[in-house]
Amino acid sequence: MSGITKGSNRRYEVFEKILKSQRDELRKRINGRLGDVHIDREPDDEAALASNSMTKDLTVATLERERRTLEEIEAALERIKSGSYGLCAICGNAIPYARLQALPSARLCITCAALASHGHVNAAD
């Protein structure tokens, strides 16, 4: 499996559908959680305040994680459009189909992902 040819974008149609579905679901969840961050009134006691604060912090952390995932999904959809989907962003080799099945937004092959997680390569490239 070397580089992607013009006609091979069709083989990624299933991933495009999955990514669009994940994107739409994430957008709904993010919009639904935005209301959870807003507090109408301050709690009456310190325990309620602490509980409210912890809940708000967890919601914000979840929103941030979902926002980053949404960005990864949208970037993968752009790679499908541009014809670079399925190629590692670091080494340029084809990302194994099984990896794309497990993680449709993958932009790194397994080797480069492992190196990046250990700080040996810059995954932002």
Residue 122 located in a structural domain: no
Residue 93 located in a structural domain: yes
Record the pTM. 0.72
Q: What angle do CA 49, 57, 24 make, to 5 degrees?
A: 130
Residue 72 located in a structural domain: yes
Q: What is the pLDDT of residues 16-57, one digit of tens each?
A: 999 999 999 999 998 887 776 655 556 567 776 776 777 778
Q: What number of other Cβ atoms are within 10 A of residue 26's Cβ?
A: 17
Residue 79 located in a structural domain: yes
Residue 90 located in a structural domain: yes
Residue 123 located in a structural domain: no
CATH code for position 96: 1.20.120.910
**Residue ranges making up the domain that contains 34:** 6-117
Closest by CA to 12, choosing from 90, 94, 123, is: 94
| Total structural domains within the chain | 1
pLDDT on residue 67: 94
Residue 125 located in a structural domain: no
pLDDT on residue 6: 44
